[in-house]
Structure 1
């Protein structure tokens, strides 16, 4: 199995290192000091499950790699539309693209069935720019339940979780999903093939849509947001509205709001990825979280007043950050 990791940051390098340890032919695509460190020393993974080093091939030029069986996409969703020159050399006729993104993916309605089948969401695929680069036919969905961070160039700190749920847009249990799942498991990661990954998407989104923008607006950690009465109430309202939109699309995540909040409290003083991006001056990945759900709320005629308010505030913040 030949795998390219496009965007071998904290999550991408962690997955690449695990697959390399399992014997896959892995190629990591990155840049800057992180790339230089991986070339010199490999990917060093520090984990409570045991430290290890993977000396996979690392490059900034996909043409060195050529076509692969799988592209694991570790880029932020905001970079998808512009990744064409990077991903094109990696593709052959049957290359699968596994997109490890938060929020609503560009392929959401691909082979969805029902009245919205094939619909394009403007918030996540503006003008079809993402679909033009990443064909929905290649897509395998991926919901990440692992927390990692780059402690230093070439050094990945694995904090918790090893689950990477994957699934086909058409809900089939395909050979390509089963093969990738087996390789991930051989690398000591959990990788269940879900018959309907959309439920997992909404389950994870329940936290991302609320904690991520609030953390950026308030500069607060998970614990601080949960322990403050006002923000906890706002987050509860956001989650209720999100579940209502999911239900309107016949998705019913198997979790209660109180359980989701309790899980967030246990994380402690963790800074969400959106807060980390804000502090680093990077673009805020809010379109696939808030904007997309508001587009779906409008599509299904589902009221979402709290989501609308938080979207307005965080969208202003995102524009000020980009200015």
Structure 2
């Protein structure tokens, strides 16, 4: 099995790097300055233990890959890029290619079934950063992350088993799960604070930030109940994480913010429409108001449009806006 990763940022780059270091055949698809740096110089992969440059085969677009019957695609783009990526991949590789969504949110898997016969979900818990071209930083140690996989909409198959085995050999925690979307819905709830962190700073342990997060999560739970969605419980998620996700500083520096914080820092697009926006969307479909999630979705879109960096308001200012 060759594993081709489309989107070699923090998540995709770490997955590709760890699999490559474990001896697996890997290909990366990356665009822009980052893709150019990977093709010209290799992937600089930084962890608490080492800094290495890896000569991983990198392609500018799916059409440049000589696709094989044993390929599996791990899609690690932001959710707003899923449709464009899917159209390019299906044109190059066909609809029988197994596609694994290693993305936040829950909208990617149903979207991918428009083009692909075999769609899989991956629940990603992986603390990584991508802030400069050619460089990916992974703070998790000794386990870099938890990457459980399963078929969409449910079940698991030989692709899940083989991919999980490969990921375990690369030091990840990974298990095939027949109910992967229940785990991804819980991850969605845990991602609702990404926008709080990005707009109001790096930490969520202050009183006002905590109250803002409580507003967002409370709306999500009400929406899920109305929609008949049954995520795994927070207690189940805590057990799965256990003590696997330990973050260690690199060169004395702690990890910065999460993926949305990093997107604002890089000046790239944010995926809040598929996180807090998913709650607003489900609320509208099922007649449950979710004004705080809709409001923070708008605030994030405005911040991204004007090129604002992270931390443009205080937690108290954000909380006041969400309570309006």
| Correspondence for 1:304 | 290
- Alpha-carbon distance change, 166 to 247 in structure 1, aligned in 2, over 3 angstroms: farther
| Correspondence for 1:251 | 230
- Alpha-carbon distance change, 315 to 71 in structure 1, aligned in 2, over 3 angstroms: same
Question: Does 1:76 find its partner at 2:41?
Answer: no
In 1, the alpha carbon distance for the partners of 2:284 and 2:118 equals 28
- Alpha-carbon distance change, 93 to 276 in structure 1, aligned in 2, over 3 angstroms: closer
Question: Does 1:4 find its partner at 2:30?
Answer: no
Give the TM-score of the pair, scaled to structure 1: 0.77
Question: Does 1:23 find its partner at 2:46?
Answer: no
Secondary structure of residue in 1 paired with 2:122: strand
Structure 1's unaligned 5+ residue stretches are: 109-124
Please show how residues 177-216 of structure 1 align to structure 2 within 5 Å. Answer: 177-209=160-192, 211-216=193-198
Contact preservation (8 Å) 1:104, 1:293? no
Please show how residues 1-323 of structure 1 align to structure 2 within 5 Å. Answer: 1-48=1-48, 53-68=53-68, 69-84=71-86, 86-88=88-90, 90-92=92-94, 94-108=96-110, 132=114, 134-135=115-116, 137-150=117-130, 152-160=132-140, 161-209=144-192, 211-218=193-200, 220-222=201-203, 225-227=204-206, 229-248=207-226, 249-255=228-234, 270-321=256-307
Contact preservation (8 Å) 1:244, 1:302? yes
Deviation, 1:81, is 2.0
In 2, the alpha carbon distance for the partners of 1:11 and 1:313 equals 25
- Alpha-carbon distance change, 318 to 151 in structure 1, aligned in 2, over 3 angstroms: closer
In 1, the alpha carbon distance for the partners of 2:148 and 2:93 equals 23
In 2, the alpha carbon distance for the partners of 1:181 and 1:100 equals 13
| Correspondence for 1:120 | none
Deviation, 1:269, is 7.0
Aligned residues: 289
Deviation, 1:93, is 5.0
In 2, the alpha carbon distance for the partners of 1:304 and 1:31 equals 36
Q: CA RMSD in A?
A: 3.0
- Alpha-carbon distance change, 15 to 303 in structure 1, aligned in 2, over 3 angstroms: same
Contact preservation (8 Å) 2:109, 2:120? no
In 2, the alpha carbon distance for the partners of 1:312 and 1:170 equals 30
- Alpha-carbon distance change, 90 to 283 in structure 1, aligned in 2, over 3 angstroms: same
Greater alpha carbon shift after TM alignment, 17-26 vs 86-95: 86-95
